[in-house]
């Protein structure tokens, strides 16, 4: 995403002048608040760019990956059985004999 897609840049926020009136806001307080907004805005922009670069890097990595050989069904059945057995033993250990009955 380029900054052209945003409505405001940090610089535009910084350079914005507001008209003052007799009972207007405290200009110093507004300036301090706008400074915080600019800092956050710049951080968000940097974070978006970092995440976009990371996303692009991960897309490139995934497109280069070589597909792995599928496992055989007999291997999957054994793995599933082992997992179920472990879960059962865990339930017995956690909930005790009452659960097993």
Q: How much is the pLDDT for 20?
A: 76
> Does the pLDDT at position 2 exceed 90?
no
Q: Which residue has the higher pLDDT, 59 or 101?
A: 59
DSSP 14-75: HH------TT---HHHHHHHHHHHHHHHHHHHHHHHHHHHHHHHHHHHHHHPPPPPPPPHHH
| The two three-digit tokens of residue 25, written as one number | 């806001």
**Residue 35: closest CA among 19, 8, 14:** 14
**Residue 31: closest CA among 23, 39, 21:** 39
7-61 pLDDT per residue, tens: 778 888 888 887 777 778 888 888 888 989 999 999 998 999 999 999 999 988 8
> Does the pLDDT at position 80 exceed 60?
yes
Q: Which residue has the higher pLDDT, 16 or 5?
A: 16
The torsion region of residue 88 among left (phi > 0), alpha (psi -120 to 50) and beta comes to: alpha
């Amino acid at each position: 995403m380029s900054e052209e897609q945003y409505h405001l840049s940090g610089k535009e926020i910084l350079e914005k002048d507001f008209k003052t009136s007799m009972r207007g806001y405290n200009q110093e307080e507004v300036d301090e608040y706008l400074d915080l907004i600019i800092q956050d805005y710049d951080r968000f922009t940097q974070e978006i760019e970092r995440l976009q670069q990371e996303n692009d890097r991960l897309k490139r990595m995934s497109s280069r990956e070589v597909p792995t050989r599928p496992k055989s069904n007999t291997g999957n059945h054994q793995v599933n059985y082992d997992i179920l057995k472990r879960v059962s033993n865990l339930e017995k250990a956690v909930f005790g004999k009452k659960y097993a009955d």
